């Protein structure tokens, strides 16, 4: 991707962002029909009408007889399992289906209309089985067993399934002595909460094109957050040598985690194998996006929390039951993350936490912005409010007293890195005039304020790597090659700033070359997930730029016969602080510099490479969750909201959201603020969203007509943001990520404000006007 801007600013300043949709000559910009030629074929899925059933037979003869149909692919053609952390699914199911909408077969035809018609002609004989949809029911010993072969699945060493049950992961956290601590508590609160499945709702639905050439090379074009992870997982599952599988990922039209890992992409590659040499395209409709792609998991939570008379937390017990859906290959790590972060950002001496990932006969639960943290903060932040009320303490002060601080030994035994959560709390309470009771706009309306705090660590394996390459051109412009994806967060702008700052060149000289991300040519990047790119890929870019910089200084030092330590690069010119000589980077970064009397040359094309991988994350004891270093770091933050509730209808109007996050170092403050603003709206929207199923497990609200997301009418009148900067020890210039964190605690902050306004508690999302009204009537 080549991006140009108008001004030059160093790291820590806002610059005009590189446009993620700038047209780049010669690059595949969108997964449309034009680049694939007249031989492009189209695919449609045959989907299961049952939530749980055995597949007795599949007859494709009628579909294959339809003119224009080229092939039909079933599970028999792809017998290997696939999965990121737990290999628990087939590309197409072999023996049973596990949710309504699961792809059973793929039909390939000359156009979408014929493929759709042919899909209706595929005859599948099923034997319906009992289904279970709620994780609290699925965990019971007599629940229908969704994965009888769980004990045979390949799994990473830090995930612990329980064969013979529907539990795909059980993370245990034990600290101190909870049982003994209850007697010391002056106040105890206990309650249950529930968060339903929700959808990512990207503007661009899932779409992929695959071509399996006759020489065995395979190309996949997909709007993806995870091109390298997709290459790895699909290559393993379909027995493709990694070097033969190329994944090309153009810009993503909305991801939010829904385009991380593998969704439809493996299906499309398997379908393309049936028609060698022909590209096959599969595109989800909006209904299919709801029905057949990954969603955020549901979560049922139980809390029991106690404190002393002065408001100091003493004991914390929780159980999280994540409804992981039909396959938990990604969701098990969400559950693990919830387990090692189960207390939220609080310092509690005695903790007992159990976090379960549970198979259910619903859509596949997977990564979504926040990665388990919105689900657990929904209940725990309301419980903290109720505990503060019980001892008569101000709710903001209760959080100041108990929140994590640098140097604390947190729940896993890890030492808390440098953060300033107290400052975040102070900033948001000031922004909404926390101590002032504002008047409502009408007699039948009531005002209320609420606060919630959060933390989140990048949830990932202990060794996810990043790589970057920096290459100069003759005019000293710079190409920075990265493998991370631009999904609207502005990462390319930040990478350009980091490279320019390190190299000592103007920002407008830097071009980020990553459109499309191409596993054949792009440097390696694990995935664009976990709010990790500013930190991880940023460190790799900084290292690559430093490598190139040192090569330049060495060449010039030898040319001038000076010490490289006396040289610097400023505004694209090498300067000597000793001799005061200058040397422009132009031309010399490719052609080098001539020896005296042009007796030979020295130097040559300057290319720098860099990598980064955390090396210090340790394992956790499977029985206690204790270890030296559970995660790389935490980002913390606070939100406070000011709302108005209509007592005649239950309608909620969010008047103001104030947010503050400790980002370590704001490389680009404007981009941080856009994350804060967008995250507040996303968090507000998630408070209103939720899947509804009938008794058979069929999704009822599978379109934007019935599935409510926030619109411009719901956006608060004011969104206030503050940035706190406490440098991270291994972040580039101290920076840490802030992409997901900004929506984690919005829903509980609103719920706390509802309680403040009208005195009712809502324990189950979504927050609908009807639910609030009925709660008021019941009260």
How far apart CA 435 and CA 428 sit, in angstroms, is: 12
The angle at the Cα of 285, spanning 122 to 527, to the nearest 5 degrees, equals: 105
749: helix, strand or coil = helix
Q: What are the C-alpha distances in Å from 197 to residues 711, 730, 744?
A: 20, 35, 15
- Note whether 557 and 578 are within 8 A (CB): no
Q: DSSP string of 671-737?
A: HHHHHHHHHHHHHHHHHH----B-TTS-BS--STTTS----TTTS-SEEEEEEE----TTSGGG---
Pairing of strands 350-359, 167-175: antiparallel
- Residue 743 sits at φ, ψ, to 5 deg, of -120, 0
Q: For every residue of 753-778, which 3-state class applies, written as one string?
A: HHHHHHCCCCCECCCCHHHHHHHHHH
Pairwise CA distance, residues 719 & 360, whole Å: 38
Could you give phi then psi for residue 536, rounded to 5 degrees? -80, -60
Residue of 623, 648, 740, 770 marked active site: 740
Q: For residue 687, what are the β-bridge partners? A: none
Start-to-end CA distance of the chain, whole Å, equals 58
Q: Are 760 and 775 in contact (CB under 8 A)?
A: yes
Known catalytic residue at 740? yes
Tell me the three state secondary structure of residue 334: helix
4-15 core/surface letters (b: 16 or more CB in 10 A; e: else)? ebeeebebbbbb
* Residues in CB range of 199: below 8 A, 6 or more apart: 258, 289, 290, 295, 296, 689, 691, 707
Q: DSSP for 465-494, please give it.
A: -EEEEEEE-TTS-EEEEE----SSS-HHHH
Strands 218-222 and 207-212: antiparallel
Residue 720 bridge partners (DSSP)? 658
Contacts 24+ apart (CB under 8 A), 765-768: 765/194, 765/195, 765/196, 765/378, 765/686, 765/687, 765/689, 765/690, 766/196, 766/687, 766/688, 766/689, 766/690, 766/708, 767/652, 767/687, 767/688, 768/650, 768/688
- Is omega for the bond preceding 766 within 30 degrees of 0, making it cis? yes
Angle at 474 between CA 473 and CA 480, to 5 degrees: 10
What are the C-alpha distances in Å from 174 to residues 154, 190, 312, 626, 687?
27, 19, 19, 8, 31
What is the DSSP pairing of strand 582-584 with strand 123-128? unpaired
Strands 517-518 and 245-249: antiparallel
Of 137, 152, 250, the closest CA to residue 204 belongs to 250
Q: Hey, which residues are catalytic here?
A: 740
């Amino acid at each position: 991707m080549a991006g140009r801007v108008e001004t030059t600013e160093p790291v820590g300043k806002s610059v005009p962002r590189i446009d993620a949709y700038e047209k780049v000559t010669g690059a595949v910009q969108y997964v449309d029909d034009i680049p694939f030629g007249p031989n492009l074929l189209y695919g449609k899925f045959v989907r299961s009408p049952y939530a749980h059933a055995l597949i007795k037979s599949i007859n494709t003869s009628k579909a294959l007889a339809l003119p224009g149909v080229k092939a039909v692919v079933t599970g028999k053609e792809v017998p290997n399992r696939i999965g990121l952390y737990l290999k628990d699914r087939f590309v197409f199911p072999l023996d049973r289906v596990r949710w309504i909408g699961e792809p059973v077969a793929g039909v390939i035809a000359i156009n979408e209309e014929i493929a759709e018609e042919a899909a209706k002609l595929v005859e599948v004989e099923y034997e319906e089985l009992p289904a279970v949809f709620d994780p609290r029911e699925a965990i019971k010993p007599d629940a229908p067993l969704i994965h009888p072969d769980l004990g045979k699945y390949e799994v990473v060493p830090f995930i612990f399934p329980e064969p013979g049950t529907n539990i795909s992961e059980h993370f245990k956290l034990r600290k101190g002595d909870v049982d003994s601590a209850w007697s010391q508590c002056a106040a105890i609160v206990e309650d249950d909460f529930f968060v339903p499945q929700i959808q990512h709702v990207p503007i661009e639905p899932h779409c992929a094109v695959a071509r399996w050439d006759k020489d065995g090379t395979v190309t996949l074009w997909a709007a993806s957050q995870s091109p390298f992870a997709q290459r790895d997982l699909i290559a393993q599952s379909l027995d493709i040598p990694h070097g033969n599988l190329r994944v090309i990922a153009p810009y993503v039209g909305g991801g939010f985690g829904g385009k991380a890992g593998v969704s439809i992409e493996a299906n499309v590659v398997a379908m393309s194998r049936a028609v060698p040499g022909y590209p096959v395209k599969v595109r989800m409709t909006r209904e299919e996006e709801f029905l057949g792609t990954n969603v955020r998991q549901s979560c049922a939570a139980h809390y029991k929390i106690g404190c002393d008379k002065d408001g100091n937390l003493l004991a914390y017990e929780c159980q999280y039951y994540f409804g992981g859906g039909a396959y938990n290959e990604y969701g098990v790590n969400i559950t693990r993350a919830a387990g090692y972060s189960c207390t939220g950002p609080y310092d509690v001496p005695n903790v007992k936490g159990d976090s379960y990932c549970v198979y259910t006969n619903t859509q596949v639960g997977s990564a979504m912005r926040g990665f388990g943290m919105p689900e657990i903060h929904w209940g725990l932040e309301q419980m903290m409010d109720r505990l503060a009320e019980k001892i008569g303490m101000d709710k903001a002060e209760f959080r100041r007293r108990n929140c994590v601080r640098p140097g604390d030994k947190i729940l896993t035994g890890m030492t808390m890195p440098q953060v300033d959560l107290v400052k975040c709390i102070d900033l948001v309470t000031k922004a909404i005039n926390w101590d002032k009771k504002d008047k409502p706009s009408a007699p039948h309306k009531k005002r209320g304020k609420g606060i919630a705090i959060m933390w989140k660590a990048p949830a990932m394996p202990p060794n996810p790597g990043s790589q970057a390459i920096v290459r100069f051109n003759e005019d000293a412009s710079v190409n920075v090659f990265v493998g991370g994806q631009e999904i609207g967060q502005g990462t390319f702008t930040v990478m350009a700033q980091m490279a320019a700052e390190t190299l000592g060149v103007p920002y407008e000289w830097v071009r980020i070359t990553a459109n499309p991300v191409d596993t054949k040519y792009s440097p390696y990047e694990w995935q664009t997930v976990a709010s990790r790119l500013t930190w991880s890929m940023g460190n790799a870019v900084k290292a690559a730029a430093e490598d190139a910089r040192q090569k330049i200084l060495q060449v010039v030092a030898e040319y001038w016969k000076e010490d490289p330590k006396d040289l610097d690069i400023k505004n694209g010119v090498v300067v000597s602080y000793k001799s005061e000589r200058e040397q422009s980077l132009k031309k010399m970064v490719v052609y080098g510099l001539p020896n005296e009397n042009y007796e030979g040359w020295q130097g040559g094309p300057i290319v720098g490479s860099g990598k980064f991988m955390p090396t210090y994350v340790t394992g956790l004891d499977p029985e206690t969750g204790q270890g030296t270093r559970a995660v790389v770091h935490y980002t913390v933050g606070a939100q406070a909201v000011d709302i108005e509730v209509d007592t005649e209808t239950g309608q909620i109007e969010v008047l103001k959201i104030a947010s503050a996050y400790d980002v370590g170092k704001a490389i680009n403050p404007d981009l941080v603020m856009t994350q804060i603003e967008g995250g507040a709206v996303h968090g507000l929207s998630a408070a209103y969203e939720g899947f509804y199923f009938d008794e058979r497990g069929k999704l009822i609200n599978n379109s934007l007509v019935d599935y409510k997301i926030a619109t411009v009418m719901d956006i608060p009148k004011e969104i206030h943001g503050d940035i706190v900067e406490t440098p991270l020890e291994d972040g580039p210039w101290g920076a840490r990520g802030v992409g997901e964190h900004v929506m984690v605690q919005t829903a509980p902050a609103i719920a706390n404000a509802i309680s403040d306004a009208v005195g009712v508690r809502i324990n189950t999302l979504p927050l609908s006007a009807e639910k609030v009204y009925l709660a008021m009537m019941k009260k």
